[in-house]
Amino acid sequence: MPRQRLAPVVILLILAAGSALATTARVRALGGQSDFYEDAAAVQRWYAALLDYPDRAVLEAGEWNHDTGDIEGSGGALHLQFDAAGRWGTAAMYFGDDQPEPDSGGWFRLLYGRRFGSVALAATFRGTSWSQAASEPPDHALQGTSRFVHDLGLGARWDLGELSYVDLAAEIREQETDFYDDEHGITVEDDGGFASWGARGRLFQALDRRAAAVLRLEWYRDLRPVTDAVMDGLVDLDRRSFRAGLGFDILVDPDNLLLVSVDYDHREEDRAAVHPFYADWEHGWRDWWRLDVRVGVESRLWPWLTLRAAASYRRTVDERLYTYTWSPDFQERAYAYDLGVITPVVLGLGLHYGKLDADLVINDRARFDPDLGAARRDRGEGDTFTSLTLRYAW
């Protein structure tokens, strides 16, 4: 339930238009960037927000890729507040299939949160599994892989006063990995411990009775072994990420919400082949950044119908270099520099019947970040997705 301590403007923004729907389809329909407004789908990033969204069940039908025909991202969630007064806190479980690999693995997340005066605290555990019987191409790449990833996270939400609050979240990640290649007699078992970590924070500040600003900062360090399709082998990955953004929520009237945000995302990474002799490349580095400017609108036309739309300007730079040193005098190199600008448009609608809501969205080349933990994944640019989310709250 919304916090009673916040000023009327913040409460209005939380409940504005169709925000009570709070599903990932709504986030997609508003162009992503869920950090800059309130939505239950953001609970997996801002864990302490769980206390604001008790007692609901969600079913994710998954994203249908119009270009490939594949369906990814199906799953669901259950939120349960233990007592009417909330003294014993709220628990939640999320589950789904792995993304984006079409494999038999899956993931789940457990959360628990409780309020202590003006501070809400939450803890989370997330586990994933992934396996592949044969890698492609089969020439040198390891023929079998399996991964088990475990995340431990903490979140806090602190009311600074009647006009603002702070969200904080952090997690550490452990990855256990097994690789084998019978043809070359290679077996690698790696348990790197909790080597990866992420931290982020956002400030929600009301500007007046109908507008609020949100500032978000995020860091992530990702250290783990991966199978690399370009290097065609097992590599050690070291990725460093920084993200900063500013958003504005403007409540035009009780039924119409305008969202504007600017987001900067920068990632640097280094890759080193574990077995260079069986890989195409020995070393690789990548420098990637994106500027994302987004405008989203949400309008409740009738009690049973909400329309949503978003448009974005996304400028991406991707620079990378792969090298293999054959001898002190000879090094093979593969360099690429990609610069791209896309302007995705997203359309969505919400249907409401009592306590049941259905959200539908069509994404035209619009990357949706599930943000299941701080290690985000990129969706393929140029593809079109349709997805459906069902939610029942009591």
Summarize pLDDT for 302-337 with one digit per residue, the tens: 999 999 999 999 999 999 999 999 988 899 999 999
Q: How many Å separate Cα 393 from the centre of its chain?
A: 23
> By the 8 A CB rule, do 155 and 121 touch?
yes
On whether the CB atoms of residues 160 and 141 are closer than 8 A, the answer is no
d(CA 38, CA 58): 17
| φ/ψ of residue 44, rounded to 5 | -75, -10
Report which of residues 200 and 129 the model is more confident about: 200
Q: Is 137 exposed, middle or buried (0-12, 13-18, 19+ CB in 10 A)?
A: exposed
Q: What pLDDT, on the 0 to 100 scale, is given for residue 185?
A: 65
**CA-to-CA distance for 40 and 113, rounded, in angstroms?**
14
* pLDDT of 101 strictly over 50: no
**Tokens describing residue 238:** 């070291």
Q: Which helix (H) or strand (E) holds 15?
A: helix 8-15
Compute how many other C-beta atoms are within 10 angstroms of the C-beta atom of residue 193.
12
User: Over 80: is that where the pLDDT of 274 sits?
Assistant: yes
**Average pLDDT for residues 216-238, to the nearest whole number?**
86
* pLDDT of 22 over the 70 cut: no
pLDDT for residue 148 is more than 50? yes
Q: Is the model more confident about 105 or about 329?
A: 329
Instruction: Give residue 97's pLDDT band: very low, low, confident or very high (50, 70, 90).
Output: confident
Q: What's the Cα-to-Cα distance from 8 to each of 13, 182, 366, rounded to whole Å?
A: 9, 65, 33
Q: Are the CB atoms for 282 and 324 separated by under 8 Å? A: yes
Q: Within 10 Å of residue 204's Cβ, how many Cβ atoms? A: 26
Find the mean pLDDT for residues 162-184: 83
- Give the domains, in start order, of the chain with CATH numbers: 8-393 (2.40.160)
Who wins on pLDDT, 175 or 320?
320
Residue 266 pLDDT grade (very low, low, confident, very high; cuts 50, 70, 90): very high
What's the confidence (pLDDT) of residue 13?
A: 52
Band of pLDDT at residue 12, cut at 50, 70 and 90? very low
The H or E element spanning position 29 is helix 24-29
